[in-house]
Structure 1
Amino acid sequence: MTRYFLAVHTRPTPGRETEYHRWYDDFHLDEVLQVPDFVTAERHVLVQSEGSQLLGPGSHLAVFTITSDDIDATMTAFRHAQKSMAQPACLDADSVALSWWRPLGSRTASSSPLVPDSA
């Protein structure tokens, strides 16, 4: 199985932030996780952005982890499921942007600082 990520950038409709968070946390994450091969969901709020027209105040990111042997079939299943997913008024529809990602590699920071060799 190969691991993938679906990143979904959104913003709440101004003045409807509480409703947006309730919808996302209490309904939408579970709705998406019912799509085959979707295994985890995380939500994030933008702290700062530099140089992106997509991101701005109030931007949020949902990251869904997917494990699949056939990502094309998984994306097709997601698009089919999307047709029945609610688009509530608390979601700024113009802010929605989806992107699919496959990891290329990873590294972990060392737990001890690098010490140069003494001469």
Structure 2
Amino acid sequence: MAKYLVLAMTNPLPGRDSEFNEWYDRVAIPAYASLPHVRPLGRYRSVPHDGYEFEMKDIGFEYLSVYEIETDDLEAAFSEVRVALAKATEEGRYHFSQAIDKGRFFEPVFVQI
């Protein structure tokens, strides 16, 4: 079975860090952990450093959430995830945060080699 990593790179809207982080901790992570094929691996915040020739701020994302997906059919797994997330939304267990900067959102998917 193939393993994939989803890297959710996000930013909160200005001044809404607390709301953004509370939503992730109390709403998003519990909801994502209940989705088929999905395993949350952790959340991270970029930090300035002198270890490389560039700083993380140059990438333009403050936060990173990492999820593992294990499946033989990625498109089918994503379809199941969408259905489960819609059900969680209908049941009031999930909603998308209004504190996320929707203009700066990047979610690449990588397959293990």
| Inter-CA distance 74–11: structure 2 relative to 1 (3 Å threshold) | same
Aligned ranges 1:1-119 → 2 under 5 Å: 1-48=1-48, 50=54, 55-56=59-60, 59-81=62-84, 84=89, 85-104=94-113
Structure scoring higher RCO (CA < 8 A, sep ≥ 6) equals 2
Paired positions, count: 103
CA–CA separation in structure 1 for the residues paired with 2:32 and 2:58: 22
* 1:41-92 Cα deviation digits (max 9, x unpaired): 3101112493889832x61010001111211211222344555452322111
Partners of 1:22 and 1:53 lie apart in 2 by 22
Give the alignment's Cα RMSD to 1 decimal. 2.6
- Name the structure where helix makes up a greater proportion of residues: 2
Structure 1 residues without counterparts, runs of 5 or longer: 105-119
Taking a change above 3 Å as real, the CA distance of residues 53 and 59 of structure 1, as seen in their structure-2 partners, is closer
Structure 1 pair 94–54 and aligned structure 2 pair: CA distance change class (3 A): farther
- Tell whether the 8 Å contact from 2:7 to 2:107 is kept in structure 1 after alignment: yes
Report the 3-state secondary structure (helix = DSSP H, G, I; strand = E; otherwise coil) of the residue aligned with 2:79. helix
Native 8 Å contact 1:39 1:66 kept in 2: yes
Which whole-Å CA distance do the structure 2 matches of 1:53 and 1:45 have between them? Answer: 11
Match of 1:109? none
Which TM-score applies when normalising by structure 1?
Answer: 0.72
